[in-house]
Amino acid sequence: MRKEDAKPLVLTHGLQPVRHLTFPAKLKCVKYVVGQHCLVSLDFDGNVCVHHEDGRVQSQRKLSLPISGLLYAAGVQLYVAWNRQGLLLLDKTFTLVSEIPVKEEVLCCAYDPGKNLLLSGGAGGVSIWRFSHSGHKLVWEQSLSQSMKNQDKVEVLALDTESQNPHTCFAACGTSVWEFSLMDGTLVRRRKNLHFRLISSLVYSENLHLLISGSRDCSVKVWGGEGQLIAVFVGHTGPITALSLSTSRRTLISGSEDKTIRTWDLNTQEQSEELEISGSPIGIETFGDNAEHVLCYSSFDIHIWQIQQLYKLHCLLGTNVKDMKVVGGPFPARGLCVCSDGTVRVISAVTGDLISTLSLQRYERLLVADYCIHRETVCVLLKDGQLLKANALVNPMSVLSKVKVNSDQSLPRCFTLYSNIMDEELAVAEWKQVVMQREDKGPPGLDSEMTNRFFPIIGSDDGSLSVCDWYSCKILYQTTAHSPTQVTSLSCDPKNNYIISAGSDLTVKVWRFFAHAEESLSLYMSFFCSQPVGQMCSFKSQLFVAFHDTSNASYSLVQYCLRTKTRKDHPPSDDHQDQITGLCCSPALNLLATCGRDGRIRVWNYQNQLI
């Protein structure tokens, strides 16, 4: 147990397997029993098994009567079963309570928990049944069959069972769907030819005003409240056999005869996951608090998964994100996204809403960007040596200035923004003033006399570091940091007054920054590296450096203590298998996160141990 506790935990977003059960006889149906917190399975031999929520068998019994399907009516605490002869009511021990004969064969049933009604579908329409006062009998109430013919067989029923008072029922016949009102039994609309082949599954959400249909033409379609087509999910290579909707997570789960389970995000209208199972799924159902579990059964198998929600997709940008920074503190949390299409976008880190976008000209090649939330200004360093500043309070962003910050002999390579905040209350007051004016109007007095100051720090290909003025972008101080080689990476730690630079001379240098001194950079310490530096991040007295050496395919993370000047490593087996592309820290949690081209996000503690 100690050895296992020391191993890093691997978490995966999406469906996590809980249990897989196999059965000797072919399954007819598997249902989750609301209120009883158990699962019930029925096979073709007439065996009924009651399972715990995790799939473990609790009890088993053999039925004497043939049954085509089964569901649980929570209002009367009885099971409702059906076969060719009629409807059956069974108690908790699956003993027959009453039998109600019907004229036409019952093909499907649905339970309305709000009104405590049973809906049955068959030839000619939908029948609505109410339970007697004692609850031990079913009494026919009305028929929903407007514009239906006797040859129309209702094989799929859908209503929002999560709603306390469902208002609408959907009945699928062939490629068409009839929409009935449960208030007065009238036909609201008939949706014709929704698919090219038979509709095999339906789910409906009154909260989302969405009807979702799956067909034997291998497609899943999403329909709006007025019958308009919203989205088509294509990816299955076999007929759709089952659908389930988790409205709290806005996630759709589909099953197909291609033996795959796919999850779809209704926000982004994209596929988020695909799983292969041993057989063609017959039914899918979400259950548990907030629908965090998924039940899927095929002919001889039951699969139970738990939905692991490690992240939520909020903002669909429509393009790849090359770099990202998050700023906040006493201000609203914002995310700065540098996109591959040459745009820079600011989004809300809480809601995911797009706030503003900066689109560059075709000849303007972006090198790196940063966001000064105190002044609501986005700074972009271009490859031709110009520093562009844009107002992030308007959408699209307006360019405030564009100044050349390099000499004719050198070009910029990297850039960071140093925020020297001496008075946080004053910083918040200045931010409110900028927001009120809808633009940074400039310094109230001399920039050198301001309490809170901001400095663009630029590293060049000649190895020099330049400290620039915020408003004029003129160089205030310049030093030869890594000359004659180029500066490859920059990082800042304003809380400790650090500027950290790395160069192609394979050295990392830590500089003390003095905001009000003429010579603002003073070398504090430096150390030699045997590999090129990729990413750097510091918090408290620790400096984390990500190295990448493509010649021997090694990508490691090393920790340096700036106070004791010691180094901490970890086993090579914990390293990324490809280049580390991102590095960030949480000082409040004493945790560090890295991401790489190997598709993994790894979390490290303060001692450089993978957790």
Say which residue, 329 or 523, is predicted with more confidence.
523
Whether the pLDDT of residue 446 is over 80: the answer is: no
Is the pLDDT confidence value at 443 over 80? Answer: no
Pairing mode, strands 138-144 and 533-539: unpaired
More confident residue, 423 or 552: 423
**pLDDT tens string 202-214:** 999 888 889 999 9
Phi, psi of 486 (to 5 degrees): -95, 155
pLDDT of residue 399: 93
DSSP string, 164-195: SS--EEEEEETTEEEEEETTT--EEEEE---S
Helix, strand, or coil (residue 289): helix
Confidence of residue 313 (pLDDT cuts 50, 70, 90): low
Mean pLDDT of the chain: 90
Per-residue burial over 344-367, b = 16 or more CB atoms within 10 Å of its CB, e = otherwise? bbbbebeeeebbbbbebeeeeebb
How far, in Å, CA of 304 to CA of 313, rounded? 24
Q: At 9, is the pLDDT very low, low, confident or very high (cuts 50, 70, 90)?
A: confident
553-580 pLDDT, tens digit per residue, is 889 999 999 888 889 999 988 999 999 9
- Position 157 pLDDT exceeds 80: yes
User: How much is the average pLDDT of 53-73?
Assistant: 91
Six-digit token string for 461: 């290909």
pLDDT in tens, 384-430: 889 999 999 999 999 999 999 887 788 899 999 999 998 889 999 98
Q: How far apart are CA 117 and CA 431, in angstroms?
A: 59
pLDDT of residue 31: 93
Which whole-number Å values give the CA distances from 200 to 72, 172, 505, in the listed order?
Answer: 22, 8, 65
The C-alpha atoms of residue 410 and residue 481 are separated, in whole angstroms, by: 14
Question: CATH classification of 321-528, choosing from 1.10.10.10, 3.40.720.10, 2.130.10.10, 3.30.420.40?
Answer: 2.130.10.10
pLDDT tens digits for range 347-368: 998 888 899 999 988 778 889 9
Q: How far is CA 140 from CA 96, 308, 373, 506, in A?
A: 19, 43, 66, 84
What pLDDT, on the 0 to 100 scale, is given for residue 288?
82
Q: How sure is the predictor about 301, in pLDDT bands with cuts at 50, 70 and 90?
A: very high
Q: Residue ranges per domain, the chain?
A: 75-174, 321-528
